[in-house]
Amino acid sequence: MAIQKISITDFIQLKQRSSTDPYIIIDVRSPGEFEHAHIPGAYSLALFSNEERAIVGTTYKKQSRADAIKVGIPFFAQKQIAMIEQVEKWIAEKQEAGKNPPAVIVHCWRGGMRSAAVAWLLDLYGCKVMQLVGGYKGYRNWVLQQFNKPYHLKVLGGYTGSGKTEILHALKNKKQPIIDLEALAHHKGSSFGALGQPTQPSQEHFENKLAESLWNSVQEDSIWIEDESQRIGTVIVPTELFKQMRASTCYFLEIPFEERLNFIVEAYGSLELQGLQAATIRIQKRLGGLETKNTLQFLEEKNIKAAFDILLKYYDRWYAKFSQATTQPKLSVQKIGCEKVDAEENAQILIQTIL
C-alpha cells in the first residue's frame, strides 16, 4: 500500500462525516504534548517519551538532523511491536462487522519525521495509512481561523438558576444547533462552577473543541449559545467570537426567584460541603463580610436553601452588572417570561417566540 497524504481541509471534512467513513486518528507526539492539547478524538501513540523527545531535540539543535535520526532510531526500534499491537486493538474496536478495517490517519507536530516513521511502519504492516499534511500545527492554524468567521448567534440569557444549559440541550433535541460552552470548558462559569466537574482542559484544547463545535454547526442558519462572561473558570472564549456573542440578540428568560432558588438547591445541595464553603470564600470580597459569614453559617447548619438564597441574590446583581458592562457592546435583549424552570417547556417557548 502507499501512504496517502491528506490536507487539513480534507481531514476536517472527513471528521465531519466520520459515521460513514470510519478512521482512527493517531497522534505520535510525546505524551506531554498530547496531554496539553490534541485533536479531539485522537489516540496517543507516542514515538518518543517526554525524555526521549528532549534528547532527540537537543541533538538536532546542537549537532545535526542526521545525528538526531541516529539517536532516535533505537528508541523507535524498541517500540515497534507494541505500537503495531496497540493499533491492531484500536482497529478491532472500530471495525464494523463485514466491512473493511478503518483507515489510520497519522500526525505529529508538523507532519514531519515522527509521523513519517510511524506511517511507514503501519503501512509496512498492511494498514491503510494517511499522513496529515502540516500535522498538529496545521490543525491549530485551522482552529484559530474558525474564531474569525462570522456566525449568526442566538444568545440564551437568564439569571443564575434558570436552567439555561438544560434548555440548550432541549433545543438540541428539537434539532436546533447549539454550542455548550460550559460542557466544553468543564466549568459552569461561577465560583461554584468547577464543583462536580472534570478537570478543565488547557486553553488550547478548549479552543480545539470549540472550533470543531462551530464547524459542525456552521451549515445551520443560526447557533444557540449561552450568555457567558469571556472567562469560564481558567479558559477564555476567543475574543473575536466573544465580541460576536455580545453583539448578538440575547433572549433573556425571566423566571421567578423562588423557582430558580429551588432549582439551584437541587443542583448543588448534594455537593460536598467543603467545596461549597471554599467557593463562597472565593467571592467574599464582593459578597461582603456579613453575607459571607451568614452563608457559611447556613452551609454549616446544612440549611442549603438559606445559603443559596443569599448567593442567588448576589449572582443576580452580578449578572445585571455584567450585562450592562461598557467594555463590550451592549446586548440587544429580548425578555421572555417563563413561569418555572422547565427545560422542555421553556425551549418550546423560545422556539415559538422567535418564529
User: Which residues participate in catalysis according to the annotation?
Assistant: 108
DSSP character at residue 288: -
- 167 CB-near residues (< 8 Å, 6+ apart): 156, 253, 343, 346, 347, 350
Q: Which of 105, 84, 91 is nearest to 26 (CA)?
A: 105
How many degrees, rounded to 5, is the angle at CA 157 between CA 151 and CA 158?
175
Q: Distance between CA 329 and CA 324 in Å, rounded?
A: 9
* Closest of 44, 26, 47, 23 to residue 35, by C-alpha: 44
Dig out the grid coordinates for 286 from the structure.
464582593
Q: How far apart (Å, rounded) are the C-alpha atoms in residues 235 and 289?
A: 29
Cell numbers 503501512 correspond to what residue?
Answer: 123
- The CA dihedral of 15, 17, 23, 24, to the nearest 10 degrees, is 30
